[in-house]
Structure 1
């Protein structure tokens, strides 16, 4: 049985049209799934940073890192250690309100996760949470019984902690 691991990849690339396609095409060609992806311009507008999360065995992760590193438009590829990295994702949930008590119960759950409440209506409520993917999953599990009407997730953003 393969030992699957969750990996956070930080990829510094030249900020050029088509680079996102090239990176995602590499994943597809290796039959490798991307769990989340976020991309943004860095402090230098000539470069963008991609943060990709994926799951695979150590050999697969090493292979994809080596392939990414060989790409012409790639400046630097790092596999981030999740214990030495700050990583967060933003999620929005729209949750169904079926009875009067649901609103208070969902608000209590949101408060336990430090989630913000937006757009509270008679029939639904919207929650916003910035957290780790595990924390988002835990909140989602608690909201399922109420009925999740819609979800929007950003993808993981990550920075490695300073060495000192």
Structure 2
């Protein structure tokens, strides 16, 4: 039995309108939820890198990578296990300012979680935390007790432990 596990999918593409819809439709047709998604410039000029996190079997993953690579704008797609990647997520918490001064425990939570305060005013303060999903989830649970005014988190950003051959391949094509 092919077991479901989390995969980090890296997709190198031209930056074209509508591509996200077509890629997400590939997952949607198979009833696979995308846990997180991030899009940014890559190490290669004019190439966008998408990072998606999905939970499925390796057989399904291989089929989906094949489907993704059939999209005209997709240069190359890869998938990696948790062990093969170095990854982080970032989040922001907005909390009432009086708690920062009246609840000593909040200051300790911030310090112990290696989060940092990015802004403080009379009404609220904002904490930023980067780390693994579990670390962010823990901080969220600890701060929820006091009340969170707003919360947002990024999708996963990741690099592979092994060299990505695409970088060398695309640099060669640019010359």
TM range (shorter): 0.7 to 0.9
Per-residue deviation, 1:74: 1.6
Question: Cα gap change, 1:42/1:2 in structure 2, threshold over 3 Å: closer, same or farther?
Answer: closer
Contact conserved, 1:107 with 1:117, CA < 8 A, in 2?
no
Q: Does the CA contact (< 8 Å) of 2:2 and 2:58 recur in 1?
A: no
Q: Secondary structure at the match of 1:64?
A: helix
Do the aligned residues in 2 keep the contact of 1:14 with 1:47 (CA within 8 Å)? yes
- For structure 1, the residue ranges without an aligned partner over 5 or more in a row are none
Decide whether aligned partners of structure 1 residues 3 and 97 sit closer, same or farther in structure 2, where only a CA change above 3 A counts.
Answer: farther
Question: Which residue matches 1:136?
Answer: 136
Q: Confirm or deny: 8 A CA contact 1:97 1:146 kept in the other structure.
A: no
How big is the alpha-carbon RMSD for the aligned residues of Structure 1 and Structure 2? Answer: 2.4
Measured in 2, the distance between the counterparts of 1:97 and 1:3 equals: 46
Following TM superposition, by how much is the alpha carbon of 1:98 offset from its aligned partner in structure 2, in angstroms? 6.6
- Say if 2:12 and 2:47, in contact at 8 Å, map to a contact too: yes
1:101 matched to 2:102: yes
Give, in angstroms, the shift of residue 48 of structure 1: 0.8
| 1:80-99 → structure 2 map (5 Å cutoff) | 80-96=80-96
1:24 equivalent in structure 2: 24
**5+ residue gaps, structure 2:** 164-175
Distance 1:117 1:149 in 2: 15
**Which whole-Å deviations, capped at 9, do the CAs of 1:57-89 have from their partners, x for residues lacking one?**
334333322321332222111112322321111
Q: Which runs of 4+ in 1 moved over 6 A?
A: none
**Residue range with higher mean Cα deviation, 114-123 or 149-158:** 114-123
What is the aligned residue count?
Answer: 162
Once the two structures are TM-superposed, the CA of residue 6 in structure 1 deviates from its matched residue by 1.5
State the secondary structure of the residue aligned to 1:78. strand
TM-score, reference length from structure 1: 0.84
Secondary structure of 2:127 counterpart: strand
142-151 or 19-28, larger mean C-alpha shift: 19-28
Alignment of 1:12-161 (within 5 A): 12-96=12-96, 101-102=102-103, 104-121=104-121, 124-161=124-161
Find the aligned partners of 1:8 and 1:44 in 2 and give their Cα distance.
19
Give 3-state SS (helix, strand or coil) of 1:136's partner. helix
Moved more, 89-98 or 1-10: 1-10
Quote the offset at 1:137 in angstroms.
Answer: 1.0
